[in-house]
Amino acid sequence: MRWLTVLIMAGTALAAGIPHKQQVAKNVWAAGFADRYGSANCGWVVLGGETLLIDTPKGMPVSDYLAEVAKISGKPARSFILTAPDAKDPAVEQLVAAGLKQVREAPGVRHIDYSGRLGRPGGAVWLAKQSVLFGGPGVVNGPRARLPGSNTAGWVALLKELDALRPSRVVPGFGSWGRGSMLERQSRFLLEVRRQVAYHITMGRALADIERMVLLPAKYYVWMPYDDVQAQDIRHVYREFMAPNAPFHGAVPASPEGQALVLVGDRYHEPEHIIEGLEPVFQAAGVTPHYFVDVQALTAENLARVKLLVILRDGMLWPDGPQKQYRIWMTPEQEKAVVDFVQNGGGFLNLHNSMGLYPKDGPYLNLVGGRYIGHGPLERFRVEIADPNHPVTRGVQPFFSADEQHTPPFDEKKVHLLLRNVSDEGKSAAAGWAYEPGQGRLVHLASGHTREALGDPQFQLLMRNAVNWCLKR
């Protein structure tokens, strides 16, 4: 029985200590805890003659934790820093009672408060000299990253900014610590959930159907299947994308100046690659875009909060899938809202397929000044400048890219032709025009189907010029 006694004593000693700890860099240690604590992490760093604790231990006496930290590091803990406040954590009060001082910063230690970005309290601790990031609750690597209550768009942006620090090691708030690449992986996970939900919304599908359809490849997971995306996560992202949360997501601009409503995505154009193509245009033009995929958010009230409307999507919804009949989504109220917005001084950049399958002979298509009648195969064709002196085409050189050659008839008495496209077989059609309806301005550009087409430097310049012209700059 002696061997059993030894094992019991050894197990007791192990349980009394920090259950999982590792030195992750010079003078920096990480410590992890059990599933019932969410696989939470904390750690410490030696600074000169003392130790700074980062976050608090879980499920063990603070006195035992402090003793082991002092034994491992050789320096007593004198202060602690929290990635996020937690009023319910008894360890904070115990650390203060033990004589430790709570600090917000220290030499070589930067606290990054991201509470306003994540949608709930949170922050990170950056040790620049050691290139170690304690990511706090916004960095999860293994357990399920719970999306309800968060701002997933802000979360993605936060992870991108943390990744820009280029940390060698990351200690997440929850889960396994490791290389900095975990930040990019988690960002891809969130982006993929958002991408799939957004695409299904552009099709007009019901939430119950979307919950069944979202499926992420295994490469997006760490502790599969424990970190699998769940129905409550999908419901949360869905609500983020839908009106009334969209298009401003609780951040209604104080002034319409420099603001744009940007409606993107349909069956043939998933939103992510469109946003990737448009984002450099708005950045270069100094415009704040408010992207949305829920067509219900196109209202007179929302248009009154911006100076520019941009659309790259067709007029069809496919709630029952491509095998069924589509329906046209734009209502008479929405047609009127768009027409009134432009007539009263707003700018409208109408891109690619944004004349396709809208209400026939209605106010919307009458405003745009043309109509969609189809396109040729995806192939390379040339875009030529019909008027090089117009502000929209100024500085733009003829170009070609892999795209769909749209061939829209247009009202030659109303609009001013700017561009023509020409196929290898000599087929030519209008590729862009501009005019001033009422007090506003409108530009139609027919290109933009593929990533290559959207990203072409000349087309980027065209879109940037068009944004500035529509805003009367």
pTM of the model: 0.91
8, with CB counted inside 10 A (0-12, 13-18, 19+), is: exposed
* 217 half-sphere exposure, CB direction, 13 A CA radius: 5
pLDDT for the residue 426:
85
pLDDT for the residue 117:
87
The structural domains of the chain, with segments of one domain joined by +, span 17-190, 246-470
C-alpha distances (whole Å) from 469 to each of 230, 254, 432, 444 are 45, 23, 14, 12
Residue 311 backbone dihedrals phi, psi, to 5 degrees: -130, 130
Cβ pair 41, 31 in contact under 8 A: yes
Alpha carbon distance 437, 309 (integer Å): 14
Residue 249 in tokens: 């997501």
Residue 338 in tokens: 């768009």
pLDDT for the residue 16:
54
For residue 311, what are the β-bridge partners? 263, 350
CATH of region 246-470, choose from 3.40.50.880, 3.40.50.300, 3.40.640.10, 2.60.40.10: 3.40.50.880
pLDDT for the residue 12:
34
Which residue bears the tokens 């969410």?
Answer: 38
- 3-class secondary structure, 138: strand
CB neighbour list of residue 467: distance below 8 Å, 6 or more residues apart: 260, 281, 282, 285, 287, 308, 310, 347, 349
Between CA 359 and CA 366, with CA 364 as vertex, the angle to 5 degrees is: 100
For the structural domain made of 17-190, what CATH number should be given? 3.60.15.10
pLDDT for the residue 222:
93
Alpha carbon distance 203, 198 (integer Å): 9
A 10 A CB-CB count for 176 gives: 18
Residue 472 in tokens: 């009367």
Cβ pair 176, 142 in contact under 8 A: yes
Alpha carbon distance 204, 433 (integer Å): 30
Alpha carbon distance 282, 262 (integer Å): 11
Distance of CA 342 to the CA centre of its chain: 29
pLDDT for the residue 192:
97
pLDDT by position in tens, the chain (length 473) = 333 333 233 333 334 589 899 999 999 999 999 999 999 999 999 999 999 999 999 999 999 999 999 999 999 999 999 999 887 899 999 999 999 999 999 999 999 999 888 888 899 999 999 999 999 999 999 999 999 999 999 999 999 999 999 999 999 999 999 999 999 999 999 999 999 999 999 999 999 999 999 999 998 999 999 999 999 999 999 999 999 999 999 889 999 999 999 999 999 999 999 999 999 999 999 999 999 999 999 999 999 999 999 999 999 999 998 888 999 999 999 999 999 999 999 999 999 999 999 999 999 999 999 999 989 899 999 999 999 999 999 999 999 989 999 999 999 999 999 999 999 888 899 999 999 999 999 999 999 999 999 999 999 999 999 999 999 99
- 3-class secondary structure, 46: strand
Residue 141 in tokens: 């690597």
Residue 464 in tokens: 């940037």
